[in-house]
Amino acid sequence: MNSSSNALRICTALVLGLILSLNGGCYLLDSARGQLALMSKRVPITRVLERPSTPPALRAQLEAVTSIRDFASRELGLPDNGSYRSYADVGRPYVVWNVVAAPEFAVDAKEWCYPIVGCVSYRGYFAEGKARSFAGKLRTQGLDVAVGGVAAYSTLGHFDDPILNTMVSWNDIELASIVFHELTHQLLYLAGDAPFNEALATTVEEEGVRRWLLAQGRHADLAEHVVQQEHYLAVVDLLRRTRTELRALYASGIDAPLMRERKRATFAAMRASYAHLTEQWPAAPFESWFAAEMNNAHLASVGTYYDCVPGFERELAAVGGDLEAFYRRVRELAKLDQETRAAAVCAKS
């Protein structure tokens, strides 16, 4: 998986179309309009493939998506519905732009809470200008802020999500990853528990890609994917270690000027470690992050996706890789209160 889509996986948005039924403020109304506009652009993939004018590259990608989508439901037990069976060209490089914010001296992201979806650690905008305007307001409050374009998102099954033009430049492994990940959100989603939701989807995504490549006899591609994932997780581990160091620094109680100086030194050390770690790699994950100024907001979302993955991997191994049994176990975990659930899944072995 290339470096740009690796970073995008961290930022995948969950934009609920059900906000149409809410009487919220301008943000919700803008989101509703954006969702309606996107849905109006959907065209069944079968129809796109029937058109003689469809470019060969797009045709090849949509044929791959059709195969991936069938595999997801047939072999992985993921929802069999209309999601990722249509195509939409939104006419821009990203479908939404996410804004993530964290205090100057904290590594936990600011949260926004909504009906249905619960509390999430970002705000998504269909217009880049509005995302950057909102980010600017947050910066005036002294917050660390990150703005990132997102190529794919899910409405959790409340709408039939399309494959987007923002995704079709990816290779088929990347397409399989996003389809498996987002369909897992449709299988099970707990409002307000992002670490559980994202780690579950990441676990199914990786297991799904492994099985999909093996089913095609693509052993060399699988071996290469495993190496890329090892590189990816090595950088994630660096980001998580830095987050842990900063958490301890921010809890130390030292004066703000000295804390600010040590914060800068910690980020500088992280950059140096990244350069050393990736110097022999043909492609480095998170290149776009490290090419720009990084802050607490970048680190805040990393744990959301990965802190609980080892626990889900243990659960899958405990049932011998049987996905149906795994899903049953996950549904039982979902019935627990959040603290008990986190202790069961997110605690280190």
pLDDT digits (tens, 9 = 90+) for 150-179: 998 788 888 899 999 999 899 999 999 999
* pLDDT tens-digit map of 33-81: 888 899 999 999 999 999 999 999 999 999 999 999 999 999 999 999 9
Element (H, E) at 150: strand 144-150
What is the dihedral angle through the alpha carbons of 17, 159, 175, 299, rounded to the nearest 10 degrees? 30
**Whole-angstrom distance, CA of residue 248 vs CA of residue 125:** 33
* pLDDT tens-digit map of 93-132: 999 999 999 999 999 999 888 766 677 788 999 999 999 9
Count Cβ neighbours within 10 Å for each residue of 111-122 and write b for 16 or more, e otherwise: eeebeebbebbb
C-alpha 247, offset from chain centre: 23
**Whole-angstrom distance, CA of residue 5 vs CA of residue 11:** 10
> Coil, strand, or helix at residue 46?
helix
**Whole-angstrom distance, CA of residue 176 vs CA of residue 268:** 35
What is the dihedral angle through the alpha carbons of 169, 173, 177, 178, rounded to the nearest 10 degrees? 20
> Coil, strand, or helix at residue 160?
coil
Model pTM score = 0.86
